[in-house]
């Protein structure tokens, strides 16, 4: 598989967003994942984390949150 410059950019933004997410900086993480989506609208992992950020912005996780996302629906 050939890794394009576009893919490198998306992966770099995803990794930045994930680090912010783990630091509980959900609004900043969402903005970073959205930048990845602007480059590649089909980037599923960034789309997923945008949804999770929205959930945590609306209802922050407990203080002892370990980074695990608990699904609310099946």
Task: Give the pLDDT confidence score for residue 74 in this predicted structure.
Answer: 59
For residues 51 and 74, the model is more confident at 51
Residue 49 lies inside a defined structural domain of this protein: yes
Residue 46 falls within a domain, yes or no? yes
**9 lies in which domain range?**
2-58
* Assigned domain for 7 exists: yes
Dist. CA 60–CA 71, nearest whole Å? 14
In a domain, 35, yes or no: yes
**Residue 48 within any structural domain of the chain:** yes
CB 13 within 8 A of CB 35: yes
16 located within any domain: yes
> Tell me: the pLDDT tens digits for 2-54?
879 999 999 999 999 999 999 999 999 999 999 999 999 999 999 999 999 99
Which pairs from 58-64 meet CB under 8 Å and 24+ separation? 60/24, 60/26, 61/24
Tally of structural domains, the chain: 1
**Residue 51 is assigned to a structural domain of this protein:** yes
Phi-psi region of 65 (alpha: psi -120 to 50; beta: other; left: phi over 0): beta
pTM of the model: 0.90
Residue 74 belongs to some domain of the structure: no
């Amino acid at each position: 598989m050939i890794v394009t410059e576009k893919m490198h950019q998306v992966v770099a933004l995803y990794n930045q967003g994930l680090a912010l997410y783990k630091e509980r900086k959900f609004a900043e993480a969402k903005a970073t994942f959205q930048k990845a989506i602007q480059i590649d609208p089909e980037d599923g992992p960034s789309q997923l984390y945008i949804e999770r950020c929205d959930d945590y912005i609306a209802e922050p996780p407990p203080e002892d949150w370990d980074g695990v996302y608990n699904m609310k629906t099946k």
